[in-house]
Amino acid sequence: MNATDFRKLLHAKSYKATPSRLAMLALLSRVTKPLSVPDIRKRLGGKHYDQATVYRTLLMLKKMGIVKQIDFQHGMSYYELSARGDHHHVICTTCERIEDVQECCVVGMDSLVLQQSGFAEITQHSLEFFGICKRCKA
Amino acid sequence: MNATDFRKLLHAKSYKATPSRLAMLALLSRVTKPLSVPDIRKRLGGKHYDQATVYRTLLMLKKMGIVKQIDFQHGMSYYELSARGDHHHVICTTCERIEDVQECCVVGMDSLVLQQSGFAEITQHSLEFFGICKRCKA
DNA sequence: AATTAATTGCAAATAATTCGCGTTTACATT
DNA sequence: AATGTAAACGCGAATTATTTGCAATTAATT
């Protein structure tokens, strides 16, 4: 995904392709870990973007299904591209360590959830594991 | 689990069995849905307990592994007894509807996560589905 | 009943997220 | 390329969840 793709993505839903949006999409697709709002603002090059803008953009991207909001129980939300694929996280409750979990057992669960619930559509899911990493255990 | 059991649970870790703690445990074990802090305070009988007390107690119970913190992306945390068993939730992103999901595909994942990660122990996991309920779809 | 450390309530601090509004900007149209 | 317009932005302030410090209270031990 390059800048041109991002423009198309936004235009497809008649959103404007503004510098802040393109920068955020570029950042999120370049990165391999979920980012918090402060993370995003720090890493958005030299440019300063207002926090309200970042929050508003994330909300928009979330509604579009492009980003996923994740809770590490660290007092704020983290965000990553849905396009990064179906993976999960392990969070150390002692330090701040976070690792990806590649195996996804949730594939196929969506239809099961639809069956047994009063829901018409599943758009996302999030699976996080909490525990203690080896370093903290020692 | 009755009041006597709760007392033992607390004393086992040398915590005091105070009225607020017993009331919270009783409430959480009587209820079938995760509760937010305002929920808890409202439903704690006539008694008024300070929010700081409720937050501190929840933190303690979480550390003890007795309660589980859950994120519905509603701007605050929800809590339920771990003893309610391994189930998950579907959250409607349009209204506030929440349903339980009984099938758990995550059983056994813990050991897998331990294998492929630098973690020594998994204490909890949380799996939430987000989507649109039938009522909102219509 | 007395002692003591843990727990509470209160009030204030902190920190994430949202909101209102005047100004700026992307982009469609000319 | 210039123009019109709704969308998006930045700013500052408001809101709201959560945490903290401290003096007063209380559970549990003696």
> Of B34, B78, B75, B132, which is closest to residue A59 (Cα–Cα)?
B75
Å: B114 CA to D26 C1' = 43
Q: How many residues does chain B have?
A: 138
Dist CA B132 CA B138 (whole Å): 10
Burial (Cβ within 10 Å: 0-12, 13-18, ≥19) of residue A68:
buried
Q: Is some CB atom of chain A closer than 8 A to the CB atom of B91?
A: no
The per-residue pLDDT for A107 is 79
Quickly state the pLDDT bin for B69 (edges 50, 70, 90).
very high
**pLDDT digits 0-9 by tens, A10-42:** 999 999 999 999 999 999 999 999 999 999 999
Exposed, middle or buried: residue A60 (CB in 10 Å: 0-12, 13-18, 19+)?
middle
User: Which of B36, B29, B42 is closest to B78 using CA atoms?
Assistant: B36
- The rounded distance, in Å, linking the Cα atoms of B13 and A132 is 20
Decide if pLDDT at B66 tops 80: yes
Average pLDDT taken over every residue of chain A: 94
For B54, the enclosing helix (H) or strand (E) is helix B51-63
Q: Residues of B with CB below 8 A from A128's CB?
A: 125-126
A89 in Cβ contact with B70 (< 8 Å): no
- pLDDT average, residue stretch B97-122: 89
B residues 8..67 contacting A (CB < 8 A): none
Residue B105, pLDDT > 80, answer no
